[in-house]
Amino acid sequence: MYLMCKVLFMLLISQVYSSPRKKSYSEIKSCNVGNLAEEIASYDSVVRDIMNYVVSGPFKRKTYDELEKFVDKFGARISGSQVLEDSIDYMIKLTQDEDLTDIVTEELEVPHWVREQEKITMLKPRSKNIAVLGLGKSISTPPEGVTADVVVFSNFEEFDNASIEDVKGKIVLFNPIFTTYHETSPYRTHGAARAAEKGAVASLIRSITPFSINSPHAGVQHYSENVTKIPTAAITLEDADLIKRFYNRGEKVVLNIKMHSSFETKTSRNTLIDLKGTKNPEKLVIVSGHIDSWDVGQGAMDDGGGLFVSWAAPIILKRLNLIPKRTVRAIFWTAEELGFVGVNAYAEKHKNESHNINFIMESDEGTFAPRGLSVAGTQEARCIIAEILKLFESINASTLIETDRPLSDIAFIVQNGIPGASLHNANEKYHWFHHTEGDTMNVENPEELDLCTAFWTAVAYIIADISVDIPR
């Protein structure tokens, strides 16, 4: 299964990390959903009940407090690790304690890449230690490391114009200025393979972030077939710019890179929690987030917050005895960070049931103040979701962004025509902490997490309960 997922990952990764195509919001404003608008408006009292229960009632700070205990107990949860499996067991027990017992786990093979020794030393034009984080599944260097001159490129266009002689035997540093994650992350995912094609002995990237306090950012990369694998790592904005300044002045920059890691496959699990529908239990409204994290930081923001708002949705609905017509299913994806392995396994296992997915949602770009949803689907589907979002104008969460590829796991499901959405939230500083040691509980806010929880729960309930399926 893991090998099949790897192939799917290689085929689809460029689509997920490319810029989402957004359409004009004016089309949504002119939607006419007929009598359905009145039906959706009738859920206003349900929205208020859920909001009150979460924001000021018995569930106040519950999401934050449970996330805090989870993060403090387990910390980082790298794919294939025992701590990840223990955290899955913990979430199952936490759910059972809420008297929600319709829980299924589905086993799959996942990559287990373990970071060990990592050190970069600048030898010329002066001696300096360079902060470093190896990129996921990078190969190791020889024990003595790799020592070579550095050649710097600001973008792939500059690199493409360079000759093989300019690159061969060198360490390539890709130093693009951050624009958006989708535009800049290909330097991380594809940089090593591109550099190796011209004979580079190692590759480095400027961390994919707009802001740094000398903090390198981890992330997955992928090697191309029939291209030599070379060690690859991220360095900080500060060190990348220092190297570039030396390079631009014509000074030779020599680095020694020592990296050692191990790689194998392990068994992990996707976790499925169902609140069965009363009328059409076979039809699913899925809320989801991934439970694994990188091995740096604590995975509080990426994706502990998304995990816990999705955990909370069926819990809150059960507590309030709001059982919708369709089933609300919470899914905790495993092994997202090292290649969307969990979601690909789920999609393959359930491919003959995909017609029953009415709508799928994922939170994986922060759980800060909710602003609305980023929605993929037909124009009619978006019109219905836009009508639902009108119920959240009071918390400034009524924005609908049209995209063909909501992030991140569910992109591999919605590409087959299944309507879905990711959480749109006030995450302007998300990539400051993304994939770093700074991803801790300090970046989470209990009030904003409550708003996300209430919003996520109420949207899922309405979609699962209205009289019509979301059209495809």
Write out pLDDT tens, residues 432-446: 999 999 999 999 999
Alpha helices in 322-426 (DSSP H): 341-349, 379-389, 411-414
Question: Computed from CA positions of residues 50, 53, 56, 60, in that sequence, does the dihedral angle turn out positive or negative?
Answer: negative
Summarised one tens digit per residue, pLDDT across range 321-347 is 999 999 999 999 999 999 999 999 999
Peptide bond into 303 cis (omega under 30): yes
For the cut 50, the answer to whether the pLDDT of residue 192 exceeds it is yes
**Confidence category of residue 31, pLDDT binned at 50, 70, 90:** confident
Q: Which DSSP state fits 267?
A: E
Which domains does the chain show, CATH number per domain?
22-102+276-465 (3.40.630.10), 115-262 (3.50.30.30)
Alpha helices in 163-202 (DSSP H): 164-167, 181-184, 186-197
Q: What is the pLDDT of residue 20?
A: 45
For the cut 90, the answer to whether the pLDDT of residue 18 exceeds it is no
**Confidence category of residue 28, pLDDT binned at 50, 70, 90:** low
Summarised one tens digit per residue, pLDDT across range 286-327 is 999 999 999 999 999 999 999 999 999 999 999 999 999 999
For the cut 50, the answer to whether the pLDDT of residue 135 exceeds it is yes
DSSP secondary structure letters along 208-247: S-S--SS-----B--PPTTS----EEEE-HHHHHHHHHHH
For the cut 50, the answer to whether the pLDDT of residue 150 exceeds it is yes
Question: Computed from CA positions of residues 7, 289, 108, 219, in that sequence, does the dihedral angle turn out positive or negative?
Answer: positive
Q: What is the pLDDT of residue 4?
A: 46
- The residue type of 448 is E
Angle between helices 446-465 and 379-389 (to 10 degrees): 130
- Both tokens of 52, joined, read 């009150």
Q: Please state, in angstroms and rounded to a whole number, the distance separating the CA atoms of residues 466 and 472.
A: 16
Q: What is the pLDDT of residue 405?
A: 77
Residue with tokens 């094609």: 197
For the cut 90, the answer to whether the pLDDT of residue 263 exceeds it is yes
For the cut 70, the answer to whether the pLDDT of residue 268 exceeds it is yes
- The residue type of 371 is R
What percentage of the chain exceeds 90 in pLDDT? 91
Helix, strand, coil in percent for the chain, rounding step 5: 40, 25, 35
Q: Please state, in angstroms and rounded to a whole number, the distance separating the CA atoms of residues 105 and 271.
A: 5
For the cut 50, the answer to whether the pLDDT of residue 382 exceeds it is yes
Residue 93, Cα to own-chain centre: how many angstroms? 25
Mean pLDDT estimate for the chain: 94
8 Å CB contact between 364 and 303: yes
Q: What is the pLDDT of residue 32?
A: 87
pTM of the model: 0.94
Active site residue 85: no
The distance in angstroms from the start CA to the end CA of the chain is: 29
Q: What is the pLDDT of residue 27?
A: 53
Q: Choose the catalytic residue: 68, 109, 118, 336.
A: 336
For the cut 70, the answer to whether the pLDDT of residue 17 exceeds it is no
Q: What is the pLDDT of residue 16?
A: 47
Mean pLDDT check: name the lowest of 14-23, 229-238, 384-393: 14-23
Alpha helices in 350-429 (DSSP H): 379-389, 411-414
Q: What is the pLDDT of residue 103?
A: 98
Q: What is the pLDDT of residue 406?
A: 78
Angle between helices 44-51 and 446-465 (to 10 degrees): 150
**Confidence category of residue 408, pLDDT binned at 50, 70, 90:** confident
For the cut 70, the answer to whether the pLDDT of residue 465 exceeds it is yes
Q: What is the pLDDT of residue 12?
A: 47
For the cut 60, the answer to whether the pLDDT of residue 130 exceeds it is yes
**Confidence category of residue 5, pLDDT binned at 50, 70, 90:** very low
